[in-house]
């Protein structure tokens, strides 16, 4: 029997980005890729990302968080999921371990994330510094300037999409700036192709961004390992950074996704901070039968 059988989970969302929060602190259990895929396939626990809490590794942190995509792969970062983790650790009766105050420091594979509560359901996450060098993102070949890289979709003399900005926010992003509403593009068709393009050795999140004004972007995202999503916090951060580097926007802006708005600020300290809401949908436990095929 899977060690995840009968484990309690929270089904949450951040702007419609479906999140499962699973607490494995106090155990040495690790989620296997097949188990993550089985959890994602169940309608009751369907997720874009699953945030799994483990005991702290670095002194002074509150938990180590592993992040899983629907295909069982691990993600480096998930801003919307990080806000959900903060709410769970502070407010959920079974997960909260007081006294924590209103601030948390969470550790992920790429580094530490400081989280500050700004309202009962809203949190600001310090997503850290964007990585802008080609080998940090990473890209498969050198680009001295990652504000625009050589990549396009469509005819060479009239491409549909071209010259994205490349940014890592703990996971790789390619941001294409478009002149019209991103919803008018068939991202479900081109997203999988671009995600796995050879130029991205670790695959990439693919975003279409429309600049509405210097303080407002509209965004649509194909998430690496998850597909089309109603919201992606790291993509919103990457889009703001990519736009500001091209001087299309200021260093602080509202990013509107299909699920709602995030406020993104790229500070003078080079850290990107994201503010947005959380919502608890329901709680449940994993049925043993869920993992039979994953055994």
Tens digits of per-residue pLDDT, 224-240? 988 999 999 999 999 99
84 is catalytic: no
Indicate which residue of 78, 84, 196, 237 is catalytic: 78
Model confidence band, residue 295 (pLDDT cutoffs 50, 70, 90): low
Is residue 78 part of the annotated active site? The answer reads yes
Q: What is the mean pLDDT of residues 149-161?
A: 91
- State yes or no: 227 annotated in a binding site: no
Give residue 98's pLDDT. 73
- Decide: residue 132, CB within 10 A, 0-12 exposed, 13-18 middle, 19+ buried: middle
pTM of the full structure? 0.92
Decide if pLDDT at 100 tops 80. Answer: no
Task: Say if residue 17 carries a ligand binding annotation.
Answer: yes
Q: What is the pLDDT of residue 120?
A: 94
Structure tokens at 199: 């130029």
Question: Which residue from 122, 49, 90, 51 is spatially nearest to 279, judged by alpha carbons?
Answer: 122
197-201: average pLDDT: 97
Omega of the bond prior to 111 within 30 degrees of 0, cis? no
According to DSSP, the residues that pair with 292 across neighbouring strands are: none
Mean of the pLDDT values across residues 27-45? 96
92 Cβ neighbours under 8 A, 6+ residues apart: 10, 280
pLDDT of residue 101: 75
Percent of the chain at pLDDT exceeding 90: 90
Max Cα–Cα distance, the chain, nearest Å = 61
pLDDT of residue 28: 96
């Amino acid at each position: 029997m899977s060690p995840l059988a009968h484990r309690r989970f929270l089904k949450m969302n951040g702007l419609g980005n479906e999140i499962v929060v699973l607490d494995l602190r106090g155990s040495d259990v690790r989620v296997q890729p097949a188990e993550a895929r089985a959890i994602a396939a169940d309608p009751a626990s369907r997720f874009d990302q699953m945030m799994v809490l483990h005991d702290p590794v670095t002194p002074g942190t509150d938990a180590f968080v592993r992040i899983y995509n629907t295909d069982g792969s691990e993600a480096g970062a998930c801003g919307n999921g990080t806000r959900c983790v903060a709410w769970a650790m502070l407010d959920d009766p079974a997960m909260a371990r007081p006294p924590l105050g209103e601030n948390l420091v969470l550790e992920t594979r790429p580094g530490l994330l400081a989280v500050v509560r700004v309202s009962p359901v809203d949190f600001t996450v310090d997503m850290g510094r964007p990585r802008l060098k080609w080998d940090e993102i990473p890209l498969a070949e050198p680009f001295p300037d990652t504000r625009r890289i050589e990549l396009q979709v469509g005819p060479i003399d009239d491409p549909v999409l071209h010259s994205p900005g490349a940014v890592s926010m703990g996971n790789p992003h390619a941001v294409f700036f478009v002149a019209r509403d991103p919803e008018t593009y068939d991202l479900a068709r081109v997203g999988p192709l671009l995600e796995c393009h050879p130029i991205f050795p670790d695959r990439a999140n693919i975003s279409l961004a429309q600049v509405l004004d210097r303080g407002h972007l509209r965004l649509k995202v194909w998430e690496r390992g998850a597909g089309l999503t109603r919201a992606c916090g790291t993509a919103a951060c990457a889009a703001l950074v990519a736009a500001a580097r091209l001087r299309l926007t200021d260093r602080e802006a509202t990013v509107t996704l299909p699920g709602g708005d995030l406020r993104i600020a790229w500070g003078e300290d080079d850290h990107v901070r994201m503010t947005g809401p959380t919502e608890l949908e329901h709680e449940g436990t994993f049925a043993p039968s869920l993992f039979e095929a994953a055994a």
